Amino acid sequence: MDRLTFGVRKVRRIGQHGSVWHGLRASAEPEHRDLKWLAIECEYLTMPGSDVIAVVPAAVNKTTARQDIVLGLAVYPRVSDVGGRFRIHHVQDGRERVRKPTEHSFEVHSCGWLAIEDVGTGRVFGVVSPGQDSELVGHSWDASSTSFTVEQRGSVAPQEKRRFAAYIVLAESPAQMRLYYQALGSAETLF
CATH topology of domain 7-184: Beta-galactosidase; Chain A, domain 5 (2.70.98)
The pLDDT of residue 183:
87
Distance of alpha carbon 80 from alpha carbon 92, whole angstroms: 26
First to last CA, the chain: 28
Q: 46 pairs with which residues across the strands?
A: 22
Cα dihedral 24, 81, 86, 120 in deg (nearest 10): -110
Q: Which amino acid is at 82?
A: V
The pLDDT of residue 127:
92
* Predicted model pTM: 0.88
In order along its 191 residues, the chain shows pLDDT tens digits of 557 889 999 999 988 778 899 999 999 999 888 888 999 999 999 998 999 999 999 999 999 999 999 999 998 887 665 555 888 999 888 899 998 887 888 888 888 899 999 888 888 999 998 876 788 898 888 777 888 999 999 999 999 999 988 999 999 999 999 999 888 876 555 66
Are 157 and 61 in contact by the 8 Å Cβ rule? The answer is yes
The pLDDT of residue 32:
87
User: In the sheet where 145-156 sits, what is the strand order?
Assistant: 67-75, 145-156, 134-142, 106-110
- Backbone φ and ψ of 174, nearest 5°: -60, -35
